[in-house]
Each structure stands twice: as C-alpha cells, then as structure tokens.
Structure 1
Amino acid sequence: MKTAVLMATYNGEKFIEKQLDSIKNQVLAPDYVIIRDDGSTDGTVEFVKDYISTNDLVGWNIIKNQRNLGWRLNFRQLLIDSQNTDADVIFLSDQDDVWNLGKNKRQLEILAEHQEIEVLSADTEFNVSASEATVPTNYIFKDNDQELSKFPIEHFYKAGFRQGMTLAIKKEFISRFLKYWKEDYNLLPHDALIECLAGLLEVGYNLNECVAVHNRHESNASGKAVVTLKSPKKLHIQELYAKYQGYYDVIYKVLQDNNSPLEQEEKVYYEFTKRRIRSAQSGSFFKTIGQVLKDWKKYEHFSSRIRDILFSFKK
C-alpha cells in the first residue's frame, strides 16, 4: 500500500526539523509528503525547501497558501490534496511532534490485518514545555489493555478520542465526507470530524500503543477555546454555524449515503443546531429561552444552555 503524510505548518521554523527527521527516517518511508504552509512570517517555508533539497527527498513538496486559512481549513485543503495522489493510506502530521520511527509501519500492519478498520488512531506521550500550554484529556477506552479499542458511538459533537497527528486513514474514507465539508465550515476540526464519524460508521479503532511524542507549548494552535463569555455575539453565532452545524451537516449526510440506522438520530441534532442558530440570530431573549426549553434534552451540557441564554442579552 502506498502512503502519504499530510503536514500543516505555520511559523514552525524553530521546532519543525525534529518532526521532518522522524518522517524522513521512518522504517516505512512515505511515498508522498505534502506540506501546506499557512502564511508563515518566519523562515518555515525556506527551511523546509532547503531540507527537501538537501536530503534529495522524492515525493516531498511544500505549498504556500495564497491566504491564511487557519489550521482547520489548512488540514481540509491537505485532505483535498491527498485525493489527487494514488496513496492508499493517509497519515496526518503536526509540525512540532516527533514520531517513533516504526509508527507508520506498525499502523499499516494493523490496517492490513484488520480490513474492517478505516481510521486508526494511537496513543502518544505528552511533552509539556510551557505553563501556558493546554494538555488534552484523552478518552479512556474501557478495554485499553487490549491491542485495539473500537471507537464509541457518540451522537453529540466530541473533540475526538486521540490527537489528529496519530491518525492513519484509508483514502476512501476521506472521500466519504470531504464533499460535504464546505469552506465556510471553517471552525470544524478535522480530527474530531474524522474520529467521531468513524465511530458512528463503526470503522474506527485505537491502537493502544504509544507511537509518538506530542509536544504541547504556548504556540499550539489547537486546544484553545474559540468562544468565551467575553466574546462578541457574532463569534458565538459563527461557531454555532461553522463548527457545530458544519459537523452535524457532514455527519448526517455521510450516514445518509451509507444507509446507516443512525441517520435519523443525527438528523435530529442537525435540525436542533439550526434552531439554535436562528434563535441566536434573532437577538430575542424570549425566543432563545423558548428554544432552550423546547430543546432542553438535545443539549449535551448544561453550560451550553447557559451560553445560549447569556449571549441572547448581547447586541
């Protein structure tokens, strides 16, 4: 099976070399490494170009985006790029982690042994280098003493089960959802979408082995809240649309394509999210409180109900 590594970069010159080394030195060398830079203002692009040239790396390429997309849409574009290759399996990479040298080979072996798996995540070590860094709380699999754990079926939006940089994905799986991921769903994280969808389709598993070191520092793009109670109402509405409606829209349509028995259940949350957005856009406290009460059981968290009510007071 041919493989491709997708890496998103942004101002990563000071720490990218270790990750490039760990990709280059994999026991199973990738056939393609596609790197998209999101408008770095340091020397990231020049450094990577020199690295590729110096090491004579065939199949490696760095593309500089014409405009800053943000890390979510940058990964979306990389996933689109992957569809233009003949790779069978796609690996996702951040710019600042370090992979074990046997990572890709080990994950590919699992995919070959278990044809039912289309998305395979894995465990990591965490290296926290700054007090400002956020540290993800990983989902706990009840059978994590086994080699593999199956992703659960989560009906609500969830941040995912493992870091996106551990993912090995069959190319065909990407084609299932990519056609529905619109560019204006620009706050939708790729890893949450991929992992939760794989759980709902029952094709996602975690390899309960450490395959990399995940570095957490003050410059990490992920892990930071988009909206706080100090945010303007416009951002609240934008996140409801560009993240949550985007998520349920894509999930529902893919389940529909696959004649999943869960299709109608996810449609309920899709329609609920659209009602949340209409209430927020109305600017009416009374309309919002009525919608919250009507949809009370469709909110995953009490804090989400409070959020909608508090933002209804903002202009």
Structure 2
Amino acid sequence: MNVSVAMATYNGEKYIRQQIDSILSQLGDEDELVISDNHSKDNTVSIINEYVSGDPRVKLFLQDEKGVTPNFENAIKHTKNEIIFLSDQDDIWKPEKVETVKTYYKKHPAVLMIMSDITVVDNNLQPTIDSFYDYRGSRAGVMKNIIKNSYIGCAMSFRKELKDKILPIPRNAPMHDMWIGLVADMNKGALLIPEKLIYYRRHESTVTTVENTSSFREKIMWRFQISGLLLQSYIKHK
C-alpha cells in the first residue's frame, strides 16, 4: 500500500523543513511527496528544491492559479499512489501517522477517506487545543457537515479511487477539505479515527483556521452552494 503526500505551499520558508522532515521519515522508497507551490516570494521553492535534488521521492510543481484550493488540486492531480495524504506546509506529523492510517485502510477496505484528530499548537509547539474533534464536534455525515463543517484537510487522507469523484474541485465550494469530506460521505466512505496524529501549528501567517469566521449570510449561501454541487457530483458519478 504505497503512499502519496499532496502538500500545498506558499511563502512557507519558516517551518517547511520541519514538516518535510517529519513526513519523509515515514515514507518508503516507493512513496512520494508531491508539492504544489503558488509561486512563493520567499525561499520556499529553494528549500524544496534542496530536497528534490537529494531525494527522488520529492516532486515539485508550480501552480499559477492563486488560492489554497487550486494549489491543493494541483498537488492531488500529480499524485500516483494508492493512498493520498493531504499536508499543510507548517505542521508536524507525529511519527506514527502514516502507519496508523494505513492500518485502518487495511482493516476497512470500503473506506474511501480517513481523517484523524489533531492537536492544535502555537509557534513553539505548545498545545492550545488538545482535540480538534472536541473543539469542532467532529463526526462524519453529509447533513452534519453541511450544517457545521468539521473536516480539516491537514488530517485527511483518501484512496486513489476518490480522485475521480473530487476532481476538479469546484471553485465555489467553501474549501477543498469540506468538499473532499462531503464527497466521501456521499459515497458512504468517510471514517474519523480517534488518534491525534498531527501537531497543527497556528501562527500569524496561517491560511486555514480551526474556527469558522464567516458571516451568517455567507454560511447560508455556502450551504446552498455545497448542496447543489454535491447533487451534481452524485448525478455525474451515479
């Protein structure tokens, strides 16, 4: 069961070495780390290229279209292996993450997407939220996650078979991780596991957040949008 890691980067020079090192230490020779960069203006690409030149498992692709969703889509599109993990540029994976998740896939052959719990930490890796699940009330389910999304991409992985169902990621979907989680739910293939497998670092430049800061109007609009998109996806892949 080979693994691809899809990472999206942009101006991540401060923490990216720690994250890449925490990932590569868990990957086998046939695994890969696929990075899509949104034309970073700092030394992010130079740092990544150091890894590319020294490790054939690391692959870099540039993405012209701006935004988190297109950047992750580009990384996912270039993956080749059976299990695809999503990764932010500034977290740290716990050493047991990959093997723990692979064990669950082996035990649950019908599962398409697995999300673990995470520990939210500050710049110095000091915990600020012990359990994302407890904080967001995370659980699987289409209606539950349309009403209140509890999916977070950095803790997600999915089988290669799900790629055809989630790509291309609609640009009017609220976020890529909500879309992936809900498509997995629509196919009765989402599993949330209790292990906390990531230190999710929050700092002044963090793009994603654990809170939903959208206005009430935005939340209502997004619920209608995502419901329509899911219906279209269901009809397309039925």
User: TM-score, structure 2 length as denominator?
Assistant: 0.83
**Following the alignment from structure 1 to structure 2, what is the Cα–Cα distance between the partners of residues 20 and 28?**
14
Task: Measure the CA separation in 2 of the matches of 1:78 and 1:103.
Answer: 20
State whether structure 2 residue 196 is matched by structure 1 residue 199: no
In structure 2, the residue matched to 1:104 is: 98
Whole-Å separation in 1 of the counterparts to 2:202 and 2:188: 30
Q: CA deviation at 1:245?
A: 5.8
The answer to whether residue 195 in structure 2 is matched with residue 209 in structure 1 is yes
8 Å CA contact retained: 2:165, 2:183 = no
Partner residue of 1:175?
A: 164
TM-superposed deviation, 1:247: 2.5
Question: In terms of Rg, which structure is larger?
Answer: 1
**Which residue matches 2:232?**
253
**Hey, what does 1:32 align to over in structure 2?**
32
Cα deviation 1:195-228 (Å, max 9, x = unaligned): 1222232210111011111111121112387865
- The alpha carbon displacement at 1:74 in A equals 1.0
Identity rate, percent = 24
Inter-partner Cα distance in structure 1 for 2:8 and 2:30: 16
SS in 2 for 1:40: coil
Q: In 1, distance between residues paired with 2:52 and 2:31?
A: 14
Q: Give the direction of change, closer, same or farther, for the CA distance of 1:191–1:163 in structure 2 (3 Å limit).
A: same
Q: Which residue of 2 aligns with 1:218?
A: 204
- What aligned pairs does 1:304-315 form with structure 2 within 5 A after superposition? none
Do 2:112 and 2:158's aligned partners in 1 also have CA atoms closer than 8 Å?
yes
Separation of aligned partners in 1, 2:183 and 2:40: 31
- Listed one character per residue, the Cα deviations across residues 90-138 of structure 1 (whole Å, up to 9, x for unaligned) are 00000000001221111011101111211000011110349xxx97632
Match of 2:111 in 1: 117
In 2, Cα distance between the equivalents of 1:208 and 1:52?
Answer: 34
Tell me which of 79, 88, 98 is aligned to 2:82.
88
* 1:71 and 2:68 matched: yes
Q: How many residues align?
A: 229
Mapping for residues 126-275 of structure 1, pairs under 5 Å: 126-129=120-123, 137-141=135-139, 151-154=140-143, 157-158=146-147, 160-179=149-168, 181-182=169-170, 185=171, 188-223=174-209, 240=221, 247-257=226-236, 259=238
Contact 1:4–1:90 (8 Å) recurs in 2 = yes
Match of 2:47 in 1: 47
Task: Name the residue aligned to 2:2.
Answer: 2
User: Structure 1 residues 256 and 15, CA, compared in 2 at 3 Å: closer, same or farther?
Assistant: same
One-letter amino acid of the counterpart of residue 92, structure 1: L
1:140 and 1:207 map into 2 onto residues whose CA distance is 10
**Matched residue SS, 1:154:** helix
Residues 43, 162 of structure 1: CA spacing in aligned structure 2 closer, same or farther, 3 A cutoff?
A: same
SS in 1 for 2:193: strand
Q: How far apart in 2 are the matches of 1:139 and 1:205?
A: 15
Task: Show structure 2 runs of 5+ residues with no match.
Answer: none
Q: Residue 58 in 1 paired to residue 44 in 2?
A: no
CA contact (8 A) 2:152 2:178 kept: no
Consecutive unaligned residues of structure 1, counting only runs of 5 or more, are 142-150, 230-235, 260-315
| Cα gap change, 1:159 to 1:34, in 2 (>3 Å) | farther
TM-superposed deviation, 1:253: 2.1
Closer, same or farther in 2 for the Cα pair 1:5/1:210, shift >3 Å? same
Distance between the aligned counterparts of 1:139 and 1:218, measured in 2? 25
1:156–1:123 distance in 2 versus 1, CA, 3 Å = closer
Q: How does 1:15-26 map to 2 (within 5 A)?
A: 15-26=15-26
Contact 2:51/2:58, CA 8 A, preserved across alignment: no
Give the TM-score of the pair, scaled to structure 1. 0.64
